[in-house]
Each structure stands twice: as C-alpha cells, then as structure tokens.
C-alpha cells in the first residue's frame, strides 16, 4: 500500500521549513494529508501543500522524522500512503485565511482555489511562510517579536482586523493554542469557520485512536472540521494525547 516517490526538487522556504517536490498519481483535495514513512526512522502525517502533476510537502523541522527529512537530497526516496481524511470545503462570502507557522502549508492549496485575504503569523519575519507565493493577495502579518507587521499573536491581530472589516468565513491552521483562540473569536462574531487540526497520528486510517479529540478521530473525521464540530471540542487547546494515548494538559 506504500508508493515510493523520488524527491525531484527541494526548496528552502524559511530557516526551519523546506518544501519537497515529487510526482505521484494520486489526486488529493486541499486539506488532505499523507502518511510519510522514512524506513528506520518514523512515519508521520503531512498535508499536501502543492497539488498538481508536481506535488509538494512543506515540512517544518521539529523532531527525529522531520530532521531526517531536512537532511535528504534531490533524488532521494519517500514512502507514502494516502491521501487521507476530509479536506476543506467551499464556503461563501468574504473569506479570511489565518495561517500560523507551518499551518500555512496546509492552507496553501485551498488559498489557491478561493479568493480571499490572508493573515500570516510566525515567530519572526524569517519564519513567515509563503509570503511570496501569495504576494498578489492582501496579507495581514503578525510576528511574535514584531520584526514585521503587527507585534503579537495571530488572534490578537484578528480581533483588531474584525473591528473594522467584516468577514463571512475563516479557514485556519496553525498551533493548537492559536486555533482555539481563532475559533472562539470566529464564533463570537458569528463567522463560519473551518480549521485543520494537528494531532499525534499513528495509523492515519481510524484504527488506533491516537488522534482522538472529544470522540472524533482527526485522521478520518477530519483533519478539517467545521464550526459545528469545533464548538463541541472542549479538549482543543487544553489537552493533547501522548504516544501512549494518555490525555495530557497542553
Ligand atoms: C493531518 C496533519 C497534517 C500535518 N501537516 C504538516 C505539514 O504540512 N507540515 C509540517 O511541517 N507538519 C505537519 N504536521 C505535523 C507533523 O506531522 C509533525 O511535525 C511530525 O509528525 C513530527 O515528527 P518528528 O518525527 O519530526 O517529531 P517527533 O520526534 O515525533 O516529535 C517532535 C515534537 O513534535 C510533536 N509532534 C509530533 N507529532 C505531532 C503532530 N502530529 N502534531 C503536532 N505536534 C506533533 C511532539 O509532541 C514533539 O513535541 C501535520 C500533522 C497532522 C496531524
Ligand atoms: S491516527 Fe489512528 S485513529 Fe487516527
């Protein structure tokens, strides 16, 4: 069930993020993910960040698996299965995309398909992802250290934006604490929202329960959830599950 693909090109996006381009016959939808296996190292979920004949994974270096990936070269091989999960679906009206850190990788394919403004957030200006890719759009920028744009977190800038601009729908992906705030703000303004969640995943196909949150399995019921389901998720931004499946406060 694994397919072997060759890395055709590697692009350094930020000091901690690289995009790996490859060819594969699958036809993913924006927001879907693959399970990526590096034999002898790890298997982990990765959203599709470029869709087309040439596809891409945009990977932030965080631990053993993603570090190994960052040490790979053009011509090296990846083992993958998928695409899996429910991706984004179209929403109507004026749209805002809110991406924090590597969350922009997951959002990029749906941004390419729908008009709308962007709020891109990162720790510092060097880590802002895909500013060039979407330079034709209106982009609000937030950096934790104030090195570019608004100094502060994505949700703080979102609150300011909503003081004088009306949006009907928000698509978001990023760190879980950011998602929690963005979801709460959208709900208090009556804005429809779809959020892509990141949870620890082992099987990716609904068997192991390692990705469960409030009774939902993120791998098969998500990773993209809508306003209704998100409203039920009181674990989001409060608890995660460790590798043994235990609930741990975030
Ligand atoms: C559906 C989905 C799509 C994803 N898409 C992308 C993407 O497009 N680009 C990208 O850079 N990352 C993405 N991730 C996150 C990525 O899977 C993790 O960063 C990766 O599994 C870490 O593996 P590792 O072996 O390098 O780190 P590990 O050594 O396994 O862990 C290092 C640290 O990262 C944390 N971590 C591990 N797995 C996850 C996870 N799934 N979510 C959040 N934290 C985790 C661990 O708790 C630990 O603190 C996605 C995750 C999911 C669930
Ligand atoms: S990762 Fe196994 S059930 Fe979701």
pLDDT in tens, 20-52: 999 999 999 999 999 999 999 999 999 999 999
> Atom of ligand 2 at shortest distance to CA of 200?
1
238: pLDDT confidence band, cut at 50, 70 and 90? Answer: confident
- CA 119 to ligand 2 center in whole angstroms: 30
Candidate of 34, 219, 241, 242 to mutate for ligand 2, largest count of ligand atoms within 8 Å of Cβ? 219
Please state which CATH number belongs to domain 95-249.
3.40.50.80
- CA 65 to ligand 2 center in whole angstroms: 18
DSSP lists the bridge partners of residue 239 as 249
Q: Which ligand is nearest to the CA of 66?
A: 1
Position 249 scores a pLDDT of 86
129-169 residue pLDDT tens: 999 999 999 999 999 999 999 999 999 999 999 999 999 99
Position 91 scores a pLDDT of 96
- Among 48-57, 63-72, 170-179, 240-249, which is the least confidently predicted range? 240-249
Give the count of beta carbons closer than 10 Å to the beta carbon of residue 69. Answer: 24
- As given in the structure block, the two tokens for residue 247 are 């609930």
CA distance 64 to 83: 23
How are strands ordered across the β-sheet holding 17-23? 42-47, 33-38, 77-84, 3-14, 17-23, 54-60
pTM of the model: 0.95
Q: Where are the domains of the chain?
A: 3-84, 95-249
Q: Which ligand is nearest to the CA of 199?
A: 1
Candidate of 62, 108, 216, 244 to mutate for ligand 1, largest count of ligand atoms within 8 Å of Cβ? 62
DSSP-based three-state secondary structure for 10: strand
82: left (phi over 0), alpha (psi -120 to 50) or beta: left
248 pLDDT higher than 90: no
Please give the C-alpha separations between residue 16 and each of 78, 104, 128, 197, in angstroms, as whole numbers: 20, 14, 11, 21
Position 71 scores a pLDDT of 97
241 pLDDT higher than 90: no
- CA 210 to ligand 2 center in whole angstroms: 5
247 pLDDT higher than 90: no
Please state which CATH number belongs to domain 3-84.
2.40.30.10
- CA 217 to ligand 2 center in whole angstroms: 6
> Atom of ligand 2 at shortest distance to CA of 203?
2
- CA 68 to ligand 1 center in whole angstroms: 13
Mean pLDDT of 187-215: 95
């Amino acid at each position: 069930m694994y397919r072997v693909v060759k890395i055709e090109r590697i692009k350094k996006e930020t000091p901690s993020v690289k995009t790996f381009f490859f060819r594969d016959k699958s036809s993913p939808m924006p927001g879907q993910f693959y399970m990526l296996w590096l034999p002898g190292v790890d298997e982990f979920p990765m959203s599709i960040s470029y869709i087309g004949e040439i596809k891409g994974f945009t990977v932030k270096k965080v631990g053993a698996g993603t570090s190994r990936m960052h040490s790979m070269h053009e011509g090296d091989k990846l083992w993958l299965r998928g695409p899996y999960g429910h991706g984004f679906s179209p929403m109507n009206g004026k749209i805002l995309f809110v991406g924090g850190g590597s969350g922009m990788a997951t959002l990029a394919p749906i941004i390419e398909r729908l008009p709308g403004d962007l709020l891109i957030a990162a720790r510092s200006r060097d880590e802002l992802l895909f500013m060039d890719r979407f330079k034709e759009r209106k982009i609000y920028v937030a950096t934790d250290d104030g090195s570019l744009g608004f100094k502060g977190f994505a949700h703080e800038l979102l609150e300011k934006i909503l003081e004088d601009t009306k949006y009907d729908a928000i698509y978001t992906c990023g760190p879980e604490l950011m998602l929690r705030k963005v979801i709460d703000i959208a709900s208090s303004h009556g804005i429809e929202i779809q959020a892509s969640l990141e949870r620890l995943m082992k099987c990716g196909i609904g068997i192991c329960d390692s990705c469960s949150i409030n009774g939902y399995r993120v791998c098969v019921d998500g990773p993209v959830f809508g306003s209704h389901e998100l409203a039920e998720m009181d674990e989001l931004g409060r608890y995660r599950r460790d590798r043994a499946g235990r609930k741990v406060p975030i």
